[in-house]
Amino acid sequence: MKSTTTTGGASSTRVSDPFWTSYRDLVRNVIVPYQWEVMNDRVEDVAKSHAIANFRIAAGREEGEFYGYRFQDSDVAKWLEAVAYSLASGPDESLERLADDTIELIGEAQLPDGYLNTHYTLAHPELRWRNERESHETYVSGHMIEAAVAYHRATGKRRLLEIMMKNADHIDSVYGPEDGKLHGYPGHQELELALVRLYEATGVERYLRLASYFIDERGKKPHFFVEEAAARGQPDDLGPFKERMFEYNQSHLPVREQKTATGHAVRAVYMYSAMADLAAINRDAGLAEACRTLWDDVTKRQMFITGGIGQQDFWEGFSKDYDLPNATTYNETCASIGLVFWARRMARLETRGIYYDVAERALYNGVLSGISLDGKKYFYVNLLESVPSAISARRDTDYAAATRQGWFPCACCPPNLARLIASIDDYIYSSDDSGVAVHLYIASETVASVGGVSVSVAVEGDYPRSGDVRVRVSPERAARFTVRVRVPGWCGADFSAAIGGRAETDIRDGYLVIDRDWNPGDVVDLTMPMRPRLIEANPSVIADAGKVAVMRGPVVYCLEEVDNGPLLSDIAVDGGVAFEERYEPELLGGVVALYFDAERGAGGWGDGALYRELRPGSEPVRVKAVPYYSWDNRGLNSMLVWMRRT
């Protein structure tokens, strides 16, 4: 199954999963209203946004000056996209009316030629398209285009879609290979993947050509950003990273020649997502191979156990292979979200289990850790080891926070979380004329057209609490086609499946492949034992040498001080440890907590000595671990993922 198309969306997929339904309800009922209040500066004790006011000023509805980052408009765009996905899952007249009013405001802020960016309209109109390396003009447009496509898909309304088609047409008049246009590409990638979505929504080939142009032009010599600086009279301006600037924004080489992920992690995965889209649509084998090479580098050598990427504060990005620190890492929430975007597109390119293995890892760990259980606090940086007193004292970790924040001056992550969670139904299934694939075990039902036959597919279960899952396949009439269900990489040989008691064993590329005559009501029973497992890292990962982490199914676990006392780093676990699994419905929204025996070092430090001669022996201790995504919801305390091994 190649070049699959998603069957999820406004009309086909309905999620009933208890875990994800709670998060989707949180987006609709709490997160979207809360973020609207923040963007209108009506929430106390959080960073000022001014995002809606910027549009009101640009539209001439009120007086004032622009406030915020050059990309402040993108917060509104991602919020609108989250609203669209929420409306796709069910009507809400008041929410739709609020969105429509916001869209009218955006239309009033658009200039007659299609240009749309409140920062440059209000603060620096003379600098339009003069500094794309840093301006984020195309980045903002990309997010607004994605919102427009999602809103049209959810409601059928074209107002925002037409606004953004006009904007895309304007950008197409500015950039391209023709004489008189800028021969360049975005500074912060995002528009490329958005143009693909706009092409798919409208069928306008011009948008696909422009997306391809941006990808193909990137990294060519002479460098566009150098020529751009010279054109504005700043030939020596190479930006904050000077000689490494080209790596920072992945323009150091043509994309087909890039072998190692480098630079700003979010820019990178947004670009890789567009590359995978274009490789699939254009059947571009060279671009597809570049995607595979970069995928292997990111996921096999530069990805944290949680699905986090981007190891360092410097350029919010990648450092080098196997450099995966725990207490000083960066792991921007948006980077994990972008990794999920990329994984979905790689699975569209080719149905291999490795892609949704990574998407699942990121979703249940590195993404959800970015948001509190009440939906009103967020992590921008996601550490794997946190000691609040050290974070507050050290200048080399002042980019991190020991507890989630209500908002950020650079607030890219909160609305990004909202739009991904609200659109989770788009990640569960895909289909083409040969059959249907089940990628994620999120309880839900979809309807797909397979070779002209309408097929209902449903996932039933309580995953990841339980690994017993049932997949119901009900064509409108008996028909032969293929159903693929992912065999999770964490499960391996423990996976089993049966139809009517008969085992199914044809596993290819990480999917169980069932090619048969299907009848209405057929059922595939899947068994994926959710046993806790100790995980070790490659010895090249110096930070994790002699340590182990705990996973149960796709979920990474951690220790918190609130359960285990201070000095979590003094806890050591034996490789043969036995786990007690206990579902606690009142704990952290309902989680499976893990209890196990461990050891602490020999005591006797009451005098506060800094060093002493080694004392043999240890003290037994009963340890409690909770899912990593749920930490920091019970007050300020320390946290640890990787434990010492005895």
Q: Which of 132, 316, 504, 599 is labelled catalytic?
A: 316
Cβ(26)–Cβ(89) below 8 Å = no
User: One-letter amino acid identity for 349?
Assistant: L
CB-CB neighbours of 498 under 10 Å: 14
Q: Which of 334, 412, 413, 558 is labelled catalytic?
A: 412
Give the residue among 363, 414, 380 at the shortest CA–CA distance from 33. 414
CB-CB neighbours of 37 under 10 Å: 13
160 token code pair: 């925002």
List the domains of the chain with CATH numbers: 429-527 (2.60.420), 532-645 (no CATH)
User: Taking the model in full, what pTM does it have?
Assistant: 0.97
Our separate counts of H helices and E strands in the chain read 20, 23
Buried-exposed string 198-227: b where 16+ CB fall within 10 A, e elsewhere: bbebbebebbbebbbbbbbbbbeeebbbbe
> Does the annotation mark 385 as catalytic?
no
String of DSSP letters for 188-213: S--HHHHHHHHHHHH--HHHHHHHHH
- State the pLDDT at residue 2: 47
> Does the annotation mark 316 as catalytic?
yes
CA angle centred on 367, ends 364 and 368, rounded to 5° = 65
SS3 22: helix
Alpha-carbon distance 138 to 574, whole Å? 52
Which segments in the chain show pLDDT lower than 70? 1-11, 238-243
Q: Which residues contact 393 (CB under 8 A, 6 or more apart)?
A: none
- State the pLDDT at residue 1: 53
- State the pLDDT at residue 424: 97
- State the pLDDT at residue 489: 96
Cβ(253)–Cβ(261) below 8 Å = no
How far apart, in Å, are the Cα atoms of 636 and each of 92, 386, 487, 640?
A: 36, 10, 38, 13
CB-based burial label for 525 (10 Å; 0-12, 13-18, 19+): middle
pLDDT tens per residue, range 582-634: 999 999 999 999 999 999 998 878 788 999 999 888 999 999 999 999 999 99
Alpha-carbon distance 402 to 404, whole Å? 7
pLDDT tens per residue, range 384-438: 999 999 999 988 888 999 999 999 999 999 999 999 999 999 999 999 999 999 9
Partners of 560 in the beta sheet?
A: 639
